[in-house]
Chain A
Amino acid sequence: MRKLKDLILLGLLWFAAFLTVAVLVTIVGFIFYKGIGLISFDFIFGDYSPSGGGGIWPMVVTTIYTIVISLLIATPIGILAAVYLQEYAKQGRMVRIIRFATESLTGIPSIIYGLFGAVFFVTTLKLGMSIIAASLTLTIIILPVIIRTTEESLKTVPQSYREGSLALGTTKLQTLYKVILPSAMPGILSGIILSMGRIIGESAAIFLTAGTVAAMPESIFSSARTLTVHSYLVTQEAGDIELAAAIGIILIAIILILNFSATWISKKLNKADY
């Protein structure tokens, strides 16, 4: 009887795992099948042409801009905030409220952030529809993600590491730098990778703050179009599934490259000489 139950459970587990992989393979397979024909050097690195047949380089650049700028702002702020909340703040009501707030912020639909960004960054701060306005909006979107994941990973650092380090006559800051943050690094990294996913997947908030100008941005104050917005627009306007799929392939490639570089950077940081 027990054996049978075990067998059934195992079967279900296998099935669930299989289903997940199958769905993933189907989607990626579909995208590659539809889009691979369009991929060429000119497609990736060519300038956009409104009459069709051009490349997507302006959108690639815009996408990378938004990812890099929002991560550059959100990562240090998010890590500092999490370190403060977890390691320094007196664990009382205030901290609980802040935690509750960050948790709630992760659940808000991004269009709300987009509207806020459009009012605050674009209009009030007079940044106009621009890469910087979109990046700041994205910063707000991913900040709670980075704070939460960093806090969670700080929590998993054993208390015995902190005690062991402090008992050796080190300061709290040294302990943080040399022991706690390196041990928390994998978790922090996964927060950053999650955030990249969030940024790349974002369309509404970017659409409202960076606009849809399909041209090479002159600076981060230019209005521009990211790959995801572009893919949305070509599907929406032209119904061009092949083009959208080709863009999808590029997006997957960008995500992979960024993930690998994030992992590589964190390894380098971890090995940093004392």
Chain B
Amino acid sequence: MYTTILEPKMVKDEKSTVTETPETKTKIHVENLNLFYGEKQALFDVSIDIKEKEVTALIGPSGCGKSTFLRTLNRMNDLIEGVKISGKIIIDDENIYESNDVIKLRTKVGMVFQKPNLFPMSIYDNVAYGPRMQGIKNKAILNEIVENSLRGAAIWDEVQDRLKSSALGLSGGQQQRVCIARAIAMKPDVILMDEPTSALDPISTLKIEELIAAMKKDYTIVIVTHNMQQAARVSDKTAFFLNGEIIEFDETSKIFSMPSDQRTEDYVTGRFG
């Protein structure tokens, strides 16, 4: 399915590296990542260091490979036939494409999708789903996980008295927060979000953005968004993707105020995309 280049080429793109500050630890180290859908290359030599307990936003015009990149981080692209990957992704000193424990990876790296995708079960069962599949059966422990996760996703107050009713009866924004709770229930280190608010109304969007800001102290968050205000509001670092490459990666404030690449400037000022 994939090959890993053990001997990485020199990182030729100086722009895509960030100066290390001593207090932030690199959580995800990506080096010369290339991805092919069959013959078609979708990612070109992507290198990036994502810091622990920061929010990293991925921006760029649609089709530029943001989702593809995000899905390499929990190996969701493995599900697609004909995907070939080369390069290195190291999370906590482990090359995730060398280890065969995808299950462990995905419990450590959770994901929230573009559209809420709760299962047709009760709210409780949705949140308890992951822990149960890990073998947790104890009712008291499950109750605690469900409550803490829903609290962590700032939705507990709204659903606590209808945990046993269908999750699909909630509004879109509530469903997305339960999706976040479902991811939190796995006690992940990293949470990937692929345009989590693109299907939501402005008020729900705001709630999720507030939630992301609050979650930052516990999780490393990587969020794809094509809403630039959102990137500016929620993220510490921003990576600008274009045609499968990272053009620029820097502090969010810098990307939006004085980007070093003309293409980044064109994009963030709305001249294209």
What is the interface of chain A, defined by CB distance below 8 A to chain B? 90-91, 158, 160-171, 174, 178-179, 182-183, 274
Contacts and interface: CB of A to CB of B under 8 A. Distances in A.
B151 to A, nearest CB: 19
24 contacts: A160-B113, A161-B117, A162-B79, A163-B76, A164-B182, A165-B119, A165-B129, A166-B79, A166-B106, A167-B110, A167-B113, A167-B183, A168-B107, A168-B133, A168-B186, A169-B104, A169-B107, A169-B130, A169-B134, A170-B130, A170-B133, A183-B119, A274-B128, A274-B137
B263 interface: no
B186 A169 contact: yes
B83 to A, nearest CB: 14
Contacts of A174: 133
Contact of B79 (A158, A160, A163): A163
Contacts of A169: 103-107, 130, 133-134, 186
Contacts of B134: 169
B113 A163 contact: yes
Report which residue of B79, B113, B133 has the largest number of chain A beta carbons within 10 angstroms of its beta carbon. B133
B202 interface: no
Interface in B43-84: 74, 76, 79, 81
B120 interface: yes
B133 A164 contact: no
B132 interface: yes
Interface of B: 74, 76, 79, 81, 103-107, 110-111, 113, 115, 117-120, 125, 128-130, 132-134, 137, 179, 182-183, 186
Contact of A90 (B81, B113, B133): B81
Given A163-B113, A168-B130, 4 more contacts: A90-B81, A163-B117, A167-B111, A169-B133
Given A167-B110, A169-B107, A170-B133, A158 B117 contact: yes
A170 B128 CA distance: 13
Given A160-B115, A160-B117, A183-B120, A167 B106 contact: yes
A183 B106 CA distance: 23
Q: What are the nearest 10 A-B pairs in CB distance? A: A169-B107, A160-B117, A168-B130, A169-B106, A164-B117, A167-B111, A170-B133, A274-B132, A169-B103, A174-B133
B183 A168 contact: yes
A178 B117 contact: no
Given A168-B186, A170-B133, A179 B119 contact: yes
B115 A178 contact: no
B177 to A, nearest CB: 15
Contacts of B117: 158, 160-161, 163-164
Given A90-B81, A174-B133, A178-B129, A167 B76 contact: yes
Contacts of A160: 113, 115, 117
B198 to A, nearest CB: 14
| Most central of A163, A169, A179 by chain B CB within 10 Å | A169
A223 B81 CA distance: 51
Contacts of A163: 76, 79, 113, 117
Contacts of B125: 274
A63 B168 CA distance: 42
Contacts of A91: 81
A168 B129 contact: yes
A129 to B, nearest CB: 47
A179 B167 CA distance: 14
Contact of A167 (B74, B118, B128, B132): B74
A3 B242 CA distance: 52
Contacts of A274: 125, 128, 132, 137
Contacts of B179: 164
Contacts of A171: 103
A90 B183 CA distance: 30
Nearest to A174: B133
